[in-house]
Amino acid sequence: MNYLERRKMELQLYMPPLTIEKEKAESFWLPRLKQTWEKPLYDEREVVEEELFPGADVYRISYEGFDDTPVKGWFMVPREAAKESRQVPCIIVYPGYTEGAGYPEQHAQWLLLGYAVLAVDVRGQGGDTGNRLLSAHGQSKGWISQNLLENPERSYYMAMFIDSLKALQAAGRQPEVDNSRLIPCGGSQGGGLALAVASLCGLAGYEEIGLAAVLADIPNLCHIDQAVFSSTGSLTEVGQLASRHPEQLPQLLEHLACFDNMNLACRITAPVLVSVGWKDTVCPPETVYAAFNRIHARKEIRDYPFLGHEVSGAHNREKLRFALEHAGR
Which residues are identified as catalytic?
188, 280, 309
**Contact assessment for residue 168 and residue 185, using Cβ atoms and an 8 Å cutoff:** no
3 is in an annotated binding site: no
**Contact assessment for residue 283 and residue 221, using Cβ atoms and an 8 Å cutoff:** no
Compute the distance between CA of residue 138 and CA of residue 134 in angstroms, rounded to an integer.
11
DSSP output for 254-318: HHHHTT-HHHHGGG--S-EEEEEETT-SSS-HHHHHHHHTT--SSEEEEEETT--S---HHHHHH
3-state SS, residue 219: coil
Give me the amino acid identity at 170.
A
3-state SS, residue 232: coil
**Where is the binding site, in residues?**
97
- Binding site as annotated, residues for substrate: 97
